[in-house]
Amino acid sequence: MKYSKPHAKDFAREHLRGLWVTPINPMFADFSINEEGLRANIRHWIDNLGVDGLCICSKLGEYGSLTIEERKRNTEIMIEECNGKAGIAVTCMDPNPETVLELAKHAQDAGADYVVIHLPVLPLVIDRCETGRAYYDYLCDKLDIGIIIWSHPDAGYVLSPESCIELAKHPNIVACKYSVPRPMYAALSRMAGDQLIVSCGSETEWMDNVVELGWQVYFASSTPYLMQTKSDRRVREYTDLAMRGDTQSARKVYDSLEPVRRALRSSRPGGKPHAHQKYWLELLGLAGGHVRRPMLDLNEPEKAKVREAFEDCGLQP
């Protein structure tokens, strides 16, 4: 590790910055992972798009259909390809907390900068915040690496801002990806001070969050690489302008991306988000491929709709 446990927050305040993305896992027709395609994608995102960090094995990476060994392999590939050029976070998600701990220790030992640990799903539990806090207490005591909490409705509940602040007492709780309505994450931002970096994966709100809430990191989604090319880096451009305080120029660039946002929204089948993003990546010239069960691939009419939206959105090749 690049820091000791007592200095995890200091390290994150200095390095957990800018645009962080969540890679998909490109797959062949036999559902095996296209490792060379994943490596090429990562190199493109770092070298050509200028992303600041990556978060592997997320929901977008179809973590639920990967074996434990495949998830560890994903981590190793990302560390090899980042090679000091971008920050590294590893999502550690599983119903079994001991598996979460195994994945997090592997990431810690392999050289990741942070791990992302989601709220546990707690069927039949009524006071979920209390149980959720005890879950993080247990994992924090076992790990040295900086932990990014991810509180989102997929768990069936979200932590209150007060519960997030209480968890920040741990020296290695460094950030919270807070997938909640803006008033709620704005409240946490105001409460957090230097104890907790707050972020979410909404690109549409990212610029306002930099300007109005002083956010330092966009963490994390596929949007920065779906909406950019080597010659058209407008998400990077408006991010840098906003962080430098040139709000007027940033707003102009931000607004120019609205046709791309509409194209992504309008062409995405509600039941096939992973397949949609993989096909969009292929249209960008990157590795996409198939999805694993239980996810579904796009059919030909759906692909035609995506192609039409892509061609009309104004992204420069």
Indicate whether 40 pLDDT > 90: yes
d(CA 73, CA 123): 31
d(CA 26, CA 45): 14
Domain assignment present for 40: yes
| Number of domains into which the chain is organized | 1
Domain assignment present for 217: yes
pLDDT tens digits for range 167-211: 999 999 999 999 999 999 999 999 999 999 999 999 999 999 999
| CATH classification of the domain holding 15 | 3.20.20.70
Indicate whether 46 pLDDT > 90: yes
Please tell me the predicted confidence (pLDDT) of residue 132: 86
Domain that holds residue 33: 5-232
C-alpha pair distances (Å), 84 with each of 54, 87, 109, 177, 217: 12, 7, 16, 23, 18
Domain assignment present for 123: yes
What does the block give as tokens for 274? 């992973």
Domain assignment present for 246: no
Indicate whether 126 pLDDT > 90: no
Please tell me the predicted confidence (pLDDT) of residue 178: 97
Q: Is the peptide bond before 294 cis (omega within 30 degrees of 0)?
A: yes
Assess contact for 143 and 170: CB atoms under 8 A.
no
Burial bucket for residue 317 (CB in 10 Å: 0-12, 13-18, 19+): exposed
- % of residues, the chain, pLDDT over 90: 92
Please tell me the predicted confidence (pLDDT) of residue 1: 87
